[in-house]
Amino acid sequence: MRIGVVTFPGSNCDTDTLEALESLDVGVESIWYQDADLAQVDGVILPGGFSYGDYLRSGALAAKAPVMAAIRAQVEEGALPVLGICNGFQILTESGLLPGTLRPNRHGEFRCDWQTLRVVEASPFFPGLMPGELLRLPIAHGEGAFYVPPGTLATVFQQGEAWLQYVDESGLLNAVINPNGSMANLAGIKRGSVAALMPHPERAMADYLGSSDGRRLLSAWLKGIGQEGSYAG
């Protein structure tokens, strides 16, 4: 198995993500944003950072990069698992591969701290991560408030696209601990073979860093890719 990590102008978590994957004994490939050949990889991660300096809207320019056209084509064929992290989440919503958009944080502040997440829906691309399971991961973003038109929020849950929510340490929803004003405390969304989250699993790969739950999440994603038939979505 070989996983590609895309670098856009302004990406700053690509190296961390490559190193996190290497620690899980998986082959890695650095993919430049102008590359359109993904034949050498079995899955792709869009890492965190500030692609194109977050001009216009975060992720808006990166969504038009050549590599995204190649990713879209393979996703539509059901042949490519994709994981977006922070800016990668923004890119995936801007490209239309995930629903909604990421707005500036409600309080107008950049937030960098630890959050507890609850798995809302299971996914064949994350075997072993069960509904109700809690993960402790760090966030670092200024535009992480997930938004969809109010009338469509119920559809996100009905279609199984709601994946992760910000919760308190006991796993309960609480508007007070919502770090950015996301609708329904949503921290992660999935659709078919595409999933994304605002927190950074690559920064939570060992207990001495504050949590090893990022290792659990990335390991589950890799296991899902390796399972026969996982591309079916």
DSSP conformation letters of 36-83: ---TT-SEEEE--B-GGGG-SSTTTTGGGSHHHHHHHHHHHTT---EE
Q: Among candidates 155, 119, 149, 121, which has minimal Cα distance to 137?
A: 119
Q: Among candidates 31, 37, 28, which has minimal Cα distance to 11?
A: 31
What are the residue ranges of helices labelled H in the chain? Answer: 14-22, 66-76, 87-94, 153-158, 213-226
Q: CA separation (Å) from 142 to 27, 121, 179, 226?
A: 32, 26, 10, 34
Candidate list 94, 169, 200, 228, residue with the active-site label: 200
φ, ψ at 217 (rounded to 5°): -65, -50
Reported as half-sphere exposure (CB side, CA atoms, 13 A), residue 223 has a value of 12
Candidate list 112, 121, 202, 228, residue with the active-site label: 202
> Is 200 noted as a catalytic residue in this protein?
yes
Cβ atoms 45, 83 nearer than 8 A: yes
Candidate list 13, 86, 141, 143, residue with the active-site label: 86
Distance between start and end Cα atoms, the chain: 18
Cβ atoms 65, 94 nearer than 8 A: no
Q: Which residues are catalytic?
A: 86, 200, 202
